[in-house]
Structure 1
Amino acid sequence: MTPRASWPRQRLGRVARTVGGSGFPPEYQGSSEGDLPFAKVSDIRRKGNEFGITTAANYISRTQARLLGARIVPAGSVVFPKVGAALLGNARALTLRDCLIDNNMMGVVPRAGDPRYWLYLLSVIDLAELSPSGPLPYVSESQIRDIRVSLPPLEEQRRIAKFLDMQCAKIDRILKVRRQQLNLLGERETSRVFAAISGMNEQGERKFSGLGWLGVVPREWAILSVSSQFEVLLGKMLNQERTRGDHLRPYLRNINVQWDQINTDDLLEMDFPPHERSRYEVQAGDLLICEGGQPGRSAIWDGRIEEIYYQKALHRARSRGRSSVRWLFYCLRAATALDVFAVEGNTTTIGHLTGEQLRAHRFPFPDRNVQDRLVGELDAAAVAARHAQVAIKKQFELLTERRQALITAAVTGKIDVATAGEVDV
């Protein structure tokens, strides 16, 4: 190995050039054939691009590229997001063929060296640290060209790239298994919830529920509308005037409500005069249901804040006494997993679950003691599954950190790849 101290450290702009992305007008988009793939940020993770950019959702001809004034990114370049939230993810991809990139991306074209070494070298640079402070993160071509990089001799670059290819592949295989385990836990939860709300394991005769997605249920179970069991009301409409006033109070938004949890770290305030409070106040035990985003996503408010309200993007379901909000939560969980609301919507309502739709929607509602028993079983299984998910996610984080640390050590010469051999992961 060439000693690390002898690796020349220089401006990236001396050993590579940058290529900015091009505007991609809608009228040029939509073609799956052409001379050049026109890559967007989403194409970095596109199926078929696991080892580098070879395909994209959109293609154009070289003639169209000239008309657009688009700069071709040659094979062997490293491309990445240069603006917005995607920049913070620090995704990198090697181009395996000539392509174009849109104006949310940038490319680095090495003048010399091993392309895969360059991919690893650039992957250890945190672009968020280069971004100016402000609401929209971004980096410029001049900032990238000013980065100082260390380049060992070509043969050393190839050894490092080969070593990292082997070691990262091993880690990636383990990460893939962990992803599959997480997916399996999610699938098992969906199966458990569906079995419970359909009474699959209950004894006795069965009947058709009248709901195609649900199938048969125990004969004695009632199929009732949500409105017959719960008061369902939409939250307060937000406008600029209501962000000011003498009665500002915190309120919950769609983004605060995730599956079975409510995040209160970033609450906003709106004016709720005294005469509106009973209408829009959220009480402990109320079920909050998302109207849009992921229609049906819901969680029960636990009362951690004494006085809180909710916005129009949410429905509030409050039990009329017979049925459990926790049972309704699981009914919504199953229906959402099966895309029931999207399938049953029309072209004007897909993407939103209106109050009228939610109130009219029918679910199985057995006697309360049956609801409580099945909810108790589902909750216990959910706790065990959550513990397993936490453990797997922790392993995932540690493996991801290990992968990045290994790349950093190799491209900075902190480990001798010629003698490192197999690395324990």
Structure 2
Amino acid sequence: MKPYPEYNNSGISWLGKIPKHWKAKRLKYVAQANQEALPESTANDYEFNYVDIGNVGLEEGIKLGERINFAKAPSRARRIVRNGDTIVSTVRTYLKAVAHIDFEPKDIVCSTGFAVISPGAVIVPKFLYYILRSEKIIDRVEALSVGVSYPAINASELMGIAAWYPPSLDEQKNIADYLDRKTAQIDDLISKKEKLIELLKEERAAIINQAVTKGLDPKAELKNSGLPWLGKIPKHWKVKRLKYLLKNKKGALKTGPFGSQLKHSDMQGADIKVYTQRSVMDNDFDSAELYISNDKFIELSEFEIFPQDILLTTRGTIGKCAIFPNGKDKGILHPCLIRVQLNQNIISNMFAQFYMKESSAFLESINHNSNATTIAVIYGETLREVVFVVPDRNEQNKIVDFLNHKTQQIDTQIVNEKKSVEYLVEYRSTLISEVVTGKIDVRNNHDSD
């Protein structure tokens, strides 16, 4: 890609040089903001698609919100949107919620947390959109926003930001068309990679589920497990409830303290960690937000977590588990965790973790013992009755070694594909900024490669 033949200083420090024949003016001189709004006299039964900040993303564009009538709409549902407009979030500006309306909208109303920017006669609608979503404008909007936790910019200040453009509408259209083609190609690649990531995750789950419920030998003689959700299992495997796999000691299966035992006011910063569901889901036992005092720890010592305990999430995102590593800080269970201590002579922690965390059979057994198709909470008494299928320890070790190898291969591929997606997203953003600021001359480039 070649640059334009000549450049001039734009006179704007954060913009720098632009092609010599381009102009730079404040947005308010090339576009208008918030031209139409629903009046308070709007009929109560008037229906429209409401778009809030959660419906808009810089990469995803706009997702139409639910249809609601004026009487039930929030008071911020006022801004009317037309074809060719670009909406820019003026609140929580760090979310970079910018989207173009390139279809004939039918009764779309967005939140007053957006500025609805309509192009004037000197600027092509899609070119204006690419300016507004460029890194230059995004960074400027964030820089001018006021507030820490809820940064915002008012519409008049937004419209005071500089815009730049070639005077020729044909040139603007050529640039916008080029970016449409290129971003569509990039989006297609991203979509393919995201689908591949999902397929890899499904393959990973299927491999684990097969290994921990059927074993590694496809020729193994099978028997009926007696469990409708599990079907047949290797003939020499055993079906055991969790309560028969626990260590022979009090508290081998322990639910976190009740709310009355551990109040929020008890966890306001002290010496001993309270490990939470987030610790388990992220497999991160170094970070912590909640602590209790030594005195409180002594009071709740029965809830202490020990190395190699299996920790299981019990509310909201249920059934996630992790093995508490050696060498981590002393701590206790959060009320939303269960501690499981297994008899290692019968079942290994690693085999149990694969079975609990990755196999559908585990959740199906919880559902069965809860007499429900979906569950919001796992209780200790329910968990004790959950069914495991258990080969001998030697076979468990072989399965664990196999799964460690296979999942590491797939996880590496998933990580690489995610990095590719991140690169493509970054490349798309950089390409838009380079082209729309005139660093690259695409006037005569009609390729579709």
TM bracket (short chain): 0.7 to 0.9
Aligned to 1:73: 81
SS of the residue 1:257 aligns to: helix
2:284 equivalent among 247, 262, 265: 262
Unpaired runs of 5+ residues, structure 1, are none
2:386 equivalent among 344, 358, 361: 361
1:252 aligns with 2:275: yes
**Amino acid across the alignment from 1:300:** I
> Mean alpha-carbon deviation: is it higher for 307-316 or for 154-163?
307-316
Aligned to 1:373: 398
Matches within 5 A, 1:42-61: 42-44=54-56, 53=62, 56-60=64-68
Aligned to 1:109: 118
Contact 2:274–2:288 (CA under 8 A) maintained in structure 1: no
- Quick one: distance in 1 between partners of 2:394 and 2:263? 43
- Quick one: distance in 2 between partners of 1:380 and 1:217? 23
Unpaired runs of 5+ residues, structure 2, are 8-18, 247-251
1:382 aligns with 2:407: yes
**Amino acid across the alignment from 1:269:** Y
1:90 equivalent among 96, 101, 108: 96
**Amino acid across the alignment from 1:352:** V
> Mean alpha-carbon deviation: is it higher for 415-424 or for 142-151?
415-424
1:227 aligns with 2:243: yes
SS of the residue 1:192 aligns to: helix
Query: Cα–Cα, structure 1 residues 166 and 317, in superposed 2: closer, same or farther, change >3 Å?
Result: same
Per the normalisation by structure 2, the TM-score is 0.78
Query: Cα–Cα, structure 1 residues 347 and 216, in superposed 2: closer, same or farther, change >3 Å?
Result: closer
Matches within 5 A, 1:217-366: 217-230=233-246, 231-236=252-257, 237=259, 238-244=262-268, 248-258=271-281, 261-262=283-284, 264-273=286-295, 274-276=297-299, 278-321=301-344, 322-335=346-359, 340=364, 344=368, 350-366=375-391
Contact 1:285–1:300 (CA under 8 A) maintained in structure 2: yes
Query: Cα–Cα, structure 1 residues 423 and 370, in superposed 2: closer, same or farther, change >3 Å?
Result: same
Query: Cα–Cα, structure 1 residues 64 and 193, in superposed 2: closer, same or farther, change >3 Å?
Result: closer
Query: Cα–Cα, structure 1 residues 340 and 120, in superposed 2: closer, same or farther, change >3 Å?
Result: farther
Query: Cα–Cα, structure 1 residues 111 and 65, in superposed 2: closer, same or farther, change >3 Å?
Result: farther
Aligned to 1:396: 421
- Quick one: distance in 1 between partners of 2:383 and 2:36? 45
Deviations 1:80-102 (A, max 9, x none): 55545xx5442432222331124
- Quick one: distance in 2 between partners of 1:339 and 1:19? 51
**Amino acid across the alignment from 1:282:** I
> Mean alpha-carbon deviation: is it higher for 314-323 or for 182-191?
314-323
**Amino acid across the alignment from 1:40:** D
Contact 2:239–2:389 (CA under 8 A) maintained in structure 1: yes
Deviations 1:313-348 (A, max 9, x none): 222222133212222221223346996489555789
Contact 1:20–1:106 (CA under 8 A) maintained in structure 2: no
Aligned to 1:156: 171
Query: Cα–Cα, structure 1 residues 233 and 180, in superposed 2: closer, same or farther, change >3 Å?
Result: same
Deviations 1:373-422 (A, max 9, x none): 11111111111112212222222222211111100001111111124565
- Quick one: distance in 1 between partners of 2:377 and 2:37? 34
**Amino acid across the alignment from 1:327:** F
Contact 1:20–1:103 (CA under 8 A) maintained in structure 2: no
Aligned to 1:204: 220
Question: Number of residues paired by the alignment?
Answer: 408
**Amino acid across the alignment from 2:244:** S
Per the normalisation by structure 1, the TM-score is 0.82
Query: Cα–Cα, structure 1 residues 271 and 218, in superposed 2: closer, same or farther, change >3 Å?
Result: same
- Quick one: distance in 2 between partners of 1:301 and 1:147? 52
> Mean alpha-carbon deviation: is it higher for 272-281 or for 194-203?
272-281
1:184 equivalent among 187, 192, 199: 199
SS of the residue 2:395 aligns to: helix
Aligned to 2:190: 175
Query: Cα–Cα, structure 1 residues 310 and 138, in superposed 2: closer, same or farther, change >3 Å?
Result: farther
Aligned to 1:120: 130
- Quick one: distance in 2 between partners of 1:413 and 1:90? 22
Deviations 1:162-191 (A, max 9, x none): 110111112112212211221121011011
Higher Rg? 2
Contact 2:77–2:110 (CA under 8 A) maintained in structure 1: no
CA RMSD of aligned residues (A): 3.7
- Quick one: distance in 2 between partners of 1:111 and 1:318? 69
1:144 aligns with 2:154: no
